[in-house]
Amino acid sequence: MSFYWFNVSRYSNVITIPKDSKKVKFPVDQQFVFGFIDRNHSPEYVVNDFYLVWRHLVPGGIVAFHDIVPGPPENVGCLMNQI
């Protein structure tokens, strides 16, 4: 993780949320052009994380997920059609 922090620390426009995303609330006027989600892979968290970012995307913004693979319901890829 230190390699990650080293790289993102140089950019003031990167927001990293190293905590339980269910406890995160962005300011109403917060906007994102891009959201990259990679943390808890349980279905409940994947859906929560998506909508947490989606509500703040600018028109034409992008949400990307890590670990998108087909498989059992606990895999992120199985939720993509539901979201």
Tens digits of residue pLDDT in 7-57: 989 998 888 888 899 999 999 999 999 999 887 878 888 889 999 999 999
Q: Which of 46, 37, 39, 36 is CA-nearest to residue 79?
A: 46
pLDDT of 75 reads 65
Rounded to whole angstroms, how far apart are CA atoms 63 and 45? 15
pLDDT of 32 reads 95
**Which helix (H) or strand (E) element contains residue 44?**
helix 43-54
* More confident site: 13 or 80: 13
**Which helix (H) or strand (E) element contains residue 11?**
none
pTM of the model: 0.76
